[in-house]
A and B are shown apart, each in its own frame.
Chain A
Amino acid sequence: MIVFKAIKHWFARRKVTRRNRALGTDIALIIVLGIFGLFSLIPLWFIIINAFKPLNEIFIFPPKFYVINPTLKNFKDLFTLIGNTSIPFSRYIFNTLFMTVLGTFGAVIVSSMAAFPLAKYRFPGQAFMSSMIVYALMFNGAVTAIPNYIIMTYLGLVDSYWAIIIPGLGSTLGLYLLKNNMIYIPDSLIESAKMDGASEWKVYWSIVMPLSKPAWITLIIFSFQGFWGNDGSTFLYTEKLKPLTYALGQITAAGIVRTGVSSAISLIMLAVPVAVFIISQSNVIETMAASGLKE
């Protein structure tokens, strides 16, 4: 009886909240969502559970969607391996942290500084530069790999942190997103600050930056993802300069004997950027709302 009442109530509410929505289509669309959700989730699910499988379960036939005897052995083995590398493992962590923190901080400053005048003022060259940014979005980094290497060599930056950090500072996507968000900052705020005698730099730092916080947090995420995924193999040769991603990749590359440890590494490689995204999801969505390409 209660169940029947609840269903009736649900239908009555549905009529109000889901106006213009046919029930059949609702169900069909939820099924579609479910199918693609599973397609997306299942490989991720395997990455997660494999990390906790003992070796005999990783090679069980047929593969299971769950762990019978969950273990932390893979992670323990990883820590033992880490303790025995020729270069202390903390060095790889330091390299990644150094490049990521400096690169991300620099990218936020460099991009936001350029985004502010392009978003808020009209001056000679402004329209040209704005359209250049849109074209640059269509650009693929791999195309310029060879010339970039030659340029890096000329600048004497090969085999140093700067070969990784400096190109990352000029994030076109970052500049584009920041600019599109700064457009919505009211002009009156900027003008009244200027009446009080604030310089452009002061306006940028104490008005524009605080108001575009979601946008630069988003840039931090994208920049972090970029540095985290970069194993530096093109530009870094000296072992003690190489980042964490490279070191973990080397452990995995040892092949089938490292299967257990590899699955632990896969989970770590996945979990870090996902965790960073979860923390900042609302900021990212707020920023992307202004990502549209205007004519």
Chain B
Amino acid sequence: MSKRKKLQSMQWKNAWRLHKSKYLMILPFAIIFLCFSVLPVVVALILSLTDFNMLELPHFVGLENYKNLVVNDDIFQIALKNTFYFAIVTGPFGYLLSFVLAWLINELPPKWRALLTLVFYAPSISGGAYMIWGLIFSSDSYGYINAWLLSWNIIDEPILWFQTAEYIMPILIIVQLWMSLGVSFLSFIAGLQNVDKSMYEAAAIDGTKNRWQELWFVTLPAMKPSLMFGAVMQITGSLSVSGISTALAGFPSTDYAGHTILTHLSDYGSIRYEMGYASAIATFLFFLTLFVNMLVQKLLRKVGE
């Protein structure tokens, strides 16, 4: 055993001697990555097993937090349900939208392509631009939707969009879709431009008759890496909605209709200071995101096989 360890340490010494400058180049990134990405996950994991509340020293409570989360916390059930509902609609739909629009834009002349890329991408880059939806769906008669519906005599009095539980989720989904053409959309645009043109010609000789066959037999297989990357970005984004919910529907929203895992997390983390419990929620979300990503990666690998 100790002989093996000795051998191993010799191997690492050797590697260090041979590749010293490479390790040194990676070092700054590695330190920051360890301190602000790996260590926080470990700390969250440990804190989730305690009753830490920022005031007293944390006590070890075992899996108590997780038990409460799953069994006793009714609000968490709502948050979980909302997050899944939200992610299942905006995740795949936003992903599809990103791809289809990128695919449509790809056939346009370069100037139109650049312009439309900008129009579709712009909502996602400007942090607070979604606040305009607060004005569009405002609950008084100045809200744009209400004003139009009133002036066309479709309704008699303004609809309280963000105060009515049934409307909150659908509106948040619309807003999220509006913002969902982000990094993955750009990746698709770039991926499409890089598909070798001669592959389409070769496929046409082999008998592709229309754009749909080209899409299935040439474009999609050639874009597989971009598709996988886009999926990671989209899933992670759609599972971590909180900003737009708090900003538009308020906190807490009517009947918790806009409550998500992340708003639940910030409720316990930055309002109630129950850090142990909040950490359990964070750890849960961390593994959920990882799990869904792995699952989708597995599915996407099958495309074109």
Contacts and interface: CB of A to CB of B under 8 A. Distances in A.
Interface of A: 19-22, 25, 29-30, 32-33, 36-37, 39-41, 43-44, 46-47, 50, 59, 61-63, 110-111, 113-114, 116-118, 121, 123-125, 129, 132, 134-140, 142-148, 150-151, 155, 166-167, 169-170, 172-173, 175, 199-201, 204, 222, 225, 228-229, 245, 249, 266, 269-270, 273-274, 277-278, 281, 284-295
A266 B21 contact: no
Given A142-B242, A285-B190, A33 B105 contact: yes
Given A40-B181, A146-B269, A173-B183, A139 B236 contact: yes
B122 A274 contact: yes
A224 B97 CA distance: 26
A140 B240 contact: yes
Nearest to A136: B37
Given A39-B178, A285-B193, A113 B28 contact: yes
B204 A19 contact: yes
Given A33-B104, A36-B101, A151-B36, A266 B129 contact: yes
Main SS at interface, chain B: helix
Contact of A29 (B97, B104, B226): B104
A10 to B, nearest CB: 14
B61 interface: no
Contact of A277 (B33, B125, B229): B125
A267 to B, nearest CB: 10
Contacts of A135: 290
A294 B100 CA distance: 22
Contacts of A114: 25-26, 28-30
Given A199-B21, A293-B229, A20 B29 contact: no
Nearest to B104: A33
Contacts of A292: 187, 191, 223-229
A270 B32 contact: no
A132 B125 CA distance: 27
A228 B127 contact: yes
A134 B297 CA distance: 12
A229 B127 contact: yes
Interface string B127-152: 11101110110000110100110110
A170 B33 contact: yes
Main SS at interface, chain A: helix
Given A114-B30, A124-B11, A225-B125, A62 B240 contact: no
Nearest to A234: B270
Contacts of A225: 125
A16 B127 CA distance: 44
Interface stretch (B65-73, B82-90, B110-118, B163-171): B110-118
B121 A277 contact: yes
A146 B136 contact: no
Contacts of A173: 183
Q: Which 5 A-B pairs have the closest CB atoms?
A: A292-B225, A144-B40, A170-B32, A229-B127, A288-B190
Interface string B242-282: 10000000000000000000100110010000010011001
B176 to A, nearest CB: 13
A277 B29 contact: no
A138 B240 CA distance: 11
A277 B225 CA distance: 24
A124 B15 contact: yes
B290 A291 contact: no
B147 A61 contact: yes
A59 to B, nearest CB: 6
Contacts of A123: 15, 18-19, 22
A289 B196 CA distance: 12
Interface string B30-66: 1011011101111110010000000000000000000
A278 B232 contact: no
Contact of A142 (B11, B114, B240): B240
A266 B43 contact: no
Contacts of B187: 288, 291-292
